[in-house]
Amino acid sequence: MLKWFSLSGIAKEVKRIRWPRTKDLVEHSTEVIAFTVAFGVFFVACEFLISFFLKMIGIG
């Protein structure tokens, strides 16, 4: 059996992890959320634009 595949091995690995500081975590989370919202708005705008043009030419 692998040495790290035990409760003591897992606990040792968790202690080795370099956890992000709260400031960095908030900053990166904000960036990810803003990027996701921007992409969502972009795709919704594209969908409305395409449906508008399809209605204009009589397909939609």
Q: What is the tens place of the pLDDT at every residue in 2-55?
A: 666 788 888 888 899 998 999 999 999 999 999 999 999 999 999 999 999 999
Is residue 11 assigned to a domain?
A: no
* CA 55 – CA 39 distance, rounded (Å): 24
Residue among 24, 1, 25, 3 nearest 13 (CA): 3
* Structure token digits, residue 15: 């202690």
Residue among 34, 55, 56, 52 nearest 44 (CA): 52
Is residue 48 assigned to a domain?
A: yes
Domain total for the chain? 1
Is residue 10 assigned to a domain?
A: no
Is residue 15 assigned to a domain?
A: no
* CA 6 – CA 34 distance, rounded (Å): 39
Is residue 37 assigned to a domain?
A: yes
pLDDT at residue 8 in the model: 86
pLDDT of 1 > 70? The answer is: no
Is residue 26 assigned to a domain?
A: yes
* Structure token digits, residue 31: 């960036």
pLDDT at residue 2 in the model: 67
Is residue 12 assigned to a domain?
A: no
Is residue 8 assigned to a domain?
A: no
Domain span at 55:
20-60
pLDDT of 57 > 70? The answer is: yes
